């Protein structure tokens, strides 16, 4: 009996921490403040010659083409970029680009594809994930509520902003929850429901941000091709045996 009482007390405590959210006034202004902190940090990092860096875990409910059912998958990812290079990586794919080339490395089928780069491709702020942490998102989505959220008694808490599309028919996301740490105003978690009228490939995904800020790049990042090839044009050791498709050369 005593064990049951203790268990119920613990469950009640967790329930209170997670569900008794305290409404916050001026939600949109609060989120804009977080965007300002993030954008200023990104601007300072890039202007100093360093790279802006984002490390995350992505939990996705993706459509399995064989079963036509949604299947939950988890993968780790990185996004990094400065004025000269941009790098995107997941468990299965890596993309390296500079002002000349884009190399897409598919680890699953052991292939590398080379295409021509564009000035827009180097803009790390244009990345879909980075765009979620910029105020321009509010052009298409509106903040409808915000609440304090405490997961455990050791967590300092986050503010959770609920965003809904201004045009439900045209927006890719049908709902966005953005978690911002109270103490630092940094983004820690983003949950997204995808509009099924636009895309059925992924129903929902959650991005858990473990690290982001500045990163100092070593000299090997001078050109994207330096990450792929040795000086004599031979693949680096980790890419030996990969199939190579040069669409830039063959165009």
What whole-number distance in Å separates Cα of residue 195 and Cα of residue 140? 14
Q: Which domains does the chain have, with CATH numbers?
A: 29-250 (2.50.20.10)
CB of 150 within 8 A of CB of 17? yes
Question: pTM for this one?
Answer: 0.80
Instruction: Identify the CA nearest to 93 among candidates 80, 103, 104, 81.
Output: 104
Instruction: Identify the CA nearest to 131 among candidates 199, 190, 208.
Output: 190
Q: Kindly tell me the sign of the dihedral angle through the C-alpha atoms of 188, 133, 118, 140.
A: positive
**Cα-to-chain-centroid distance, residue 126:** 12
What integer pLDDT is reported at residue 24 of this predicted model?
A: 54
CB of 51 within 8 A of CB of 214? yes
List, in sequence order, every residue forming a beta bridge with 213; answer none if it has no partner.
53
Q: What is the pLDDT along the chain (251 residues), one digit of tens a residue?
A: 434 433 333 333 333 344 344 445 689 999 999 999 988 988 899 888 888 899 999 999 999 988 999 999 999 999 988 888 889 999 999 999 998 999 999 999 999 999 999 877 777 777 777 888 888 999 999 999 998 876 554 456 889 999 999 999 999 999 999 999 888 888 999 999 999 999 999 999 999 999 888 888 776 677 889 889 998 889 999 999 999 999 987 66
Give SS3 for 185: coil
**Rg of the chain's alpha carbons, rounded to an integer?**
21
CB of 80 within 8 A of CB of 122? no
Report the phi/psi class of residue 110: left, alpha or beta, with left for phi > 0 and alpha for psi in -120 to 50.
left
């Amino acid at each position: 009996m005593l064990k049951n009482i203790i268990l119920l007390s613990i469950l009640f405590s967790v329930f209170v921490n997670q569900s008794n959210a305290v409404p916050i006034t001026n939600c949109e202004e609060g989120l804009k403040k977080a965007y300002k902190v993030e954008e200023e940090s990104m601007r300072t990092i890039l202007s100093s010659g360093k790279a802006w860096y984002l490390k995350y875990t992505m939990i996705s409910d993706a459509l399995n083409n064989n079963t036509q059912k949604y299947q939950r998958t988890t993968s780790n990812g990185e996004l990094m970029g400065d004025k000269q290079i941009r790098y995107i990586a997941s468990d299965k794919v890596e993309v390296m680009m500079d002002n000349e080339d884009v190399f897409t490395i598919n680890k699953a089928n052991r292939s590398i594809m080379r295409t021509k780069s564009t000035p827009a491709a180097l803009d790390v702020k244009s990345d879909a994930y980075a765009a979620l942490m910029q105020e321009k998102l509010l052009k298409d989505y509106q903040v409808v509520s915000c609440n304090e959220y405490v997961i455990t008694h050791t967590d300092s808490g986050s503010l959770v902003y609920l965003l809904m599309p201004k045009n439900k028919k045209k927006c890719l996301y049908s709902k966005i929850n953005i978690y911002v740490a109270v103490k630092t105003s940094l983004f820690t978690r983003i949950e997204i429901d995808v509009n099924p009228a636009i895309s059925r490939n992924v129903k929902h995904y959650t991005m858990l941000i473990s690290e982001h800020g500045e990163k100092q790049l070593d000299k090997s990042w001078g050109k994207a091709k330096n990450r792929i090839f040795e000086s004599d044009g031979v693949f680096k050791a980790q890419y030996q045996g990969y199939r190579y498709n040069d669409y830039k050369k063959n165009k």
